[in-house]
Amino acid sequence: MGVKATTSIYGIFGHPVKHSLSPDMHNSAFNELGLNSVYVAFDIDPENIEEATRAIRVMGIKGINITIPHKQTIIPFLDEVSPDAKLTGAVNTVKNENGKLSGFNTDVGGFLRAIREDLDFTPEGKTLFLIGAGGAARAVLSAFCMNGGAIVHIADIFKDKATELADQFKANFPNIVIEIIEMENQSAISEKFAQADILVNASPAGMDGVGAHDIPLTSLNKKAVVYDLVYKPTNTKLLQDAKELGHKASGGLTMLLYQGAESFEIWTGENAPVEVMRKALGY
């Protein structure tokens, strides 16, 4: 379906954003359902997020996905935020209804469905080692804590950021053990790796053009599963190394699919054509 004067515009805000597969996924869904809509990518410098959010209203953009590094910084410029997004402290989906901007977080449900289907893993009673403390990490931590997780270890190259995240979730989930591990403390990481049931990378490490973390993966509990939110490349160094060591491991394409399907339904009110979207992602 060609772009017309009446075409509804959707998109994604990120920086960088040229790696995003979301345009392929959502445009395939629009085409499948015969919707007069188009989805495009907007590379928004962090210092311009307020102006970009105003542009959603001014230009009548119907919906926007939010990715690194804007998931937290966009929140003050929205009119309302869903309960899940408030708990998470991050927004990955914005809906524009006649100039009113509502923020949601579909990463939480997307992550849960991905680890269940890819890794046959559920959080109840388990121990999580989480790398990263940004918006994506908040979604992972929310999913884990809201679904019976027991112990969480968080490591980030910015210790203050990790501490802030841990303190927030300790206040909301006092019965869950949440502690910070310094990224440079390899012996401490090794000790906590041995206790982990799941290792999740929610940082940009391993993304195309971004170096992978130097972590003692051989110390990881032999029964632990590994999930890397990075989806480009689809088989990151973390996933390669984990599989070579015998761990069940999966990358971020499945989470991308399921969070995208939920965003699509929030925007359009239509059932997302999940299999069409999956095919557009190339798996």
pLDDT, averaged per 10 consecutive residues of the chain (283 residues), comes to: 89 94 97 97 98 97 95 96 91 97 96 96 98 92 96 96 96 96 95 98 85 91 97 92 97 95 98 97 87
Instruction: Summarize pLDDT for 238-283 with one digit per residue, the tens.
Output: 999 999 999 999 999 999 999 999 999 999 999 999 999 999 998 7
CATH of the domain at 147: 3.40.50.720
Residue matched to tokens 């980030």: 156
Residue 2 lies in a domain: no
Give the structural domain span for 76: 8-105+256-280
CATH of the domain at 62: 3.40.50.10860
Residue 1 lies in a domain: no
Q: Which of 4, 71, 86, 222 is catalytic?
A: 71
For residue 19, which of 67, 85, 56 has the smallest C-alpha distance?
A: 67
**CA-based torsion, 135, 140, 146, 150: positive or negative:** negative
User: What's the pLDDT score for residue 1?
Assistant: 59
Residue 113 lies in a domain: no
Residues 139 and 234 in one domain: yes
Contact indicator for 122, 147 with CB cutoff of 8 Å: yes
**CA dist., res. 216 & res. 119, Å (int):** 22
Active site residue 222: no
Q: Torsions phi, psi of 187, nearest 5?
A: -65, -40
* 162: its two tokens: 């990790």
In the chain, the number of structural domains is 2
pTM above the 0.85 mark?
yes
Residue 110 lies in a domain: no
Residues 130 and 150 in one domain: yes
